[in-house]
Amino acid sequence: MPAGIAEIARAVNGGELSAVEVVADYLARAEATQPAINAFTHIDYEHASRAAAEVDARVARGGGGGRLAGVPIAVKDLIDHAGRPNTAGTSLPPPIPQESATVITRLEGAGAVIIGRTGLHEYAFGFSSENHWFGAVRNPWDTSLSPGGSSGGSAAAVAAGAAVAALGTDTGGSVRVPAAICGIVGLKVTHGRVPLTGVFPLAPSLDTVGPLTRTVEDAASVYLIIAGHDPADPWSAPQPVVTPQGSASLRQLTLGIPHPWVDLPQTGDVADGFASIRKALTDRGAKLIDLDLPDLVPASTLEDSVYPEVAAVHNDRWQHHPESYGPDVAQRMAEAFDTDPIRYVRAQEWRARIRHVAQAALESCDALMTPTVAANRKPIGDELIDVAGKMVSFRPQLSRFTALVNHTGMPALALPLQRAGKPPPSVQLIGRRWEEHRLLEIGLALEDAGLSRCNAPHGSQD
């Protein structure tokens, strides 16, 4: 079976493989991995098989199956798919939407087949994907570990070989954190780049939808389908979508290393991995510059900036069904409703300041580079993890390098490093607004140089 999106679509469009065969294979993989990984809330056998047959029928008629013909894709279970329950990972009876989210319509229009809905942290409000109602999603590298969150099921499905690609959402790192912890690629897009129509919100001024894949090429293939203006989404911006033009030249690349952000506490393997990628890039001719950016660090105002939006989204549910929230999400929801409006205003001032700082920093380099997470092993059930010899709450460690990026509105790419580790360390590249193509070009260069690679921990795509 072909491994990547381009190979699958080429084989299906060329008649070498049928979409029905491809989808049946991945449905079997999803079913086989589900008992151990719990990546899916629903495996869509009937609808996926029917959709695959429709792709084959289009190919047989000579019209072509599309740029994603027959490619099996999983979607986070808070994205509307017509006729399927949208649980958002909660205990309330799920609505069954009559229309699909714009991103789903675009994927299916390109010939992709949605094979199932993936588990998540309840309401996407957390980083572990240990769901009180659906059970914990487990990491394919080690099933005693969390896959990260909130898009943990999407990352786990891809890492386990149960889907070629998956969609997640990212409000504070919910694509990049699980990508890092599951050893795969995750793209957080510029806010406003990919439509949010039909996606259950967490904090709309920060929410984004993005792909999780095994390769940068596959991430680019999905991104180019789902990106673009949607007048139905008030956050969507009419900006042109630029196609990546192959690998960047490492010798012509300048990357900024933001201090003291990158110096914050992290585990030894994360620090070693970041040091190794810095050296490897320098050895290959890239220019790395150290930037003194004291304002560009996580702050306590970060949550003050987010929580009022969360409270607004959940106001009716929280007032009428407080018992429907799992314990950890209920605690955070209470904090959200307790946010002082004065702190919120100050937090918006902080957000504006770091946007300006990040934008100015990127005038001197192609991208900023940080680790993706400060720790990449979080045991399921544990609230505290060991970072630099101290037992600390896991949540700030997982979001230390990701959450701030959402407040800048900028795109970011999480890449697994070609290093030992289960999972290996991950590096984050942060780019200018609307320049996802440049991040993808840099990511392709790291893959071509053998510095980034996804090694499937469970299952195979061979």
- Where in the sequence numbering do the catalytic residues fall? 76, 150, 174
Give the list of residues 6+ apart from residue 130 with CB closer than 8 angstroms, or none: 121, 136, 137, 146, 149, 328, 380, 381
Largest CA distance in the chain: 63
Distance CA 309, CA 344 (A): 10
Residue that is written with structure tokens 């990026």 in the block:
405
Give the list of residues 6+ apart from residue 432 with CB closer than 8 angstroms, or none: 359, 362, 410, 411, 438
> Could you tell me the CA-to-CA distances from 445 to 108, 252, 286, 346 in Å, in that order?
30, 11, 11, 40
Hey, is 306 helix, strand or coil?
helix
Hey, is 235 helix, strand or coil?
coil
The encoded tokens of residue 424 equal 């290996």
Task: Name the residue among 197, 191, 203, 201 with its Cα closest to residue 239.
Answer: 191
The encoded tokens of residue 97 equal 């939407």
Crossing angle (nearest 10°) for helices 301-320 and 327-337: 110
Contact (Cβ atoms closer than 8 angstroms) between residue 278 and residue 175: no
Residues forming beta bridges with residue 295, ordered by sequence position = none
Task: Name the residue among 450, 453, 443 with its Cα closest to residue 416.
Answer: 453
Hey, is 255 helix, strand or coil?
strand
Q: Is 350 left (phi over 0), alpha (psi -120 to 50) or beta?
A: alpha
CB half-sphere exposure, 55, CA atoms < 13 A: 37
Contact (Cβ atoms closer than 8 angstroms) between residue 158 and residue 184: yes
Distance CA 20, CA 432 (A): 40
Helix, strand, coil percentages in the chain from 3-state DSSP, rounded to 5: 40, 15, 45
Contact (Cβ atoms closer than 8 angstroms) between residue 241 and residue 228: yes
The encoded tokens of residue 9 equal 């679509």
Strand-pair category, 113-118 with 72-76? parallel
Distance CA 103, CA 179 (A): 20
Distance CA 432, CA 364 (A): 11
Q: Using CB atoms within 10 Å of the CB of residue 344, give its burial: 0 to 12 exposed, 13 to 18 middle, 19+ buried.
A: middle
